[in-house]
Amino acid sequence: MNDFSIQKPIPYYEQFYHSIKKMIFEGTFKPGERIVENQLAKEFGVSKSPIREAIRMLENEGLVVTDEKSRVKVYEPTIQDVEEIYFCRMALESFAVERMTSMATKEEIQSIRQVLQETAEAIENERSAEVVVTLNERFHHLIIAYTQNKRLQKQLDGLKSLTHFFRILNLEGENRAEVILEQHRKIFGYIQNREGKKAADEMISHLKLDLDHLKEVLPE
């Protein structure tokens, strides 16, 4: 009896939030494409209320926008947006990796090494882009988490959805997964040698290279 727990059903709006978000990430909804509440409500067989709440959540994350005519559209990334977000990431993640390098336990460092190994195996086995993106995110997430700085984590969580959006775009191009993995390995090399300043510099270099690549692949 002590192991018994009641599983609450997932609210409709939360289910639609995850479904629409997935469709945006997978490209079912293209950047700039209009999302019509009435149409979605009809397709899902529900009222507009949970659809409207799901869209509000997505708007808070920056994945959809409402134009001057109150039309909801999928977020279209611009060069300025990417530059601003990556500037924030450079500042926060370079600080994070320098701090984390000085305080991480051997077990935490081993867990980062494991993520890199799993990434290499995923690339070698030609796993989906979604798997590779998830592992790339895991690498950065662990670095942030191991700072044990909750305020820093909260700042980066606010960029999480758009960062994921950009990571998908960032995989476009020949051998991009391998290139990103090699950059992560360089950062990790400094982490395991407890060279925090070099790890921070390498993190900035890595994010600058990502930014340069995104500028090349962003739609005109």
Q: Where are the domains of the chain?
A: 12-74, 79-217
Return the CATH fold of 79-217.
Four Helix Bundle (Hemerythrin (Met), subunit A) (1.20.120)
Q: What is the pTM of this model?
A: 0.86
Task: Give pairs for 35-42: CB < 8 Å, separation 24+.
Answer: 35/64, 35/72, 35/73, 35/74, 36/72, 37/72, 40/16
Residue 175 confidence (pLDDT)? 92
Return d(Cα 149, Cα 133) in angstroms, integer. Answer: 24
Residue 139 confidence (pLDDT)? 98
Chunked into runs of 10 residues, the chain (220 residues) has average pLDDT values of 60 90 92 91 88 93 90 92 95 97 96 98 92 96 96 90 92 93 98 97 97 87
Structurally, at CATH architecture level, domain 12-74 sits in Orthogonal Bundle (1.10)
- Nearest CA-CA partner of 73 in 28, 35, 19: 35
Residue 110 confidence (pLDDT)? 97
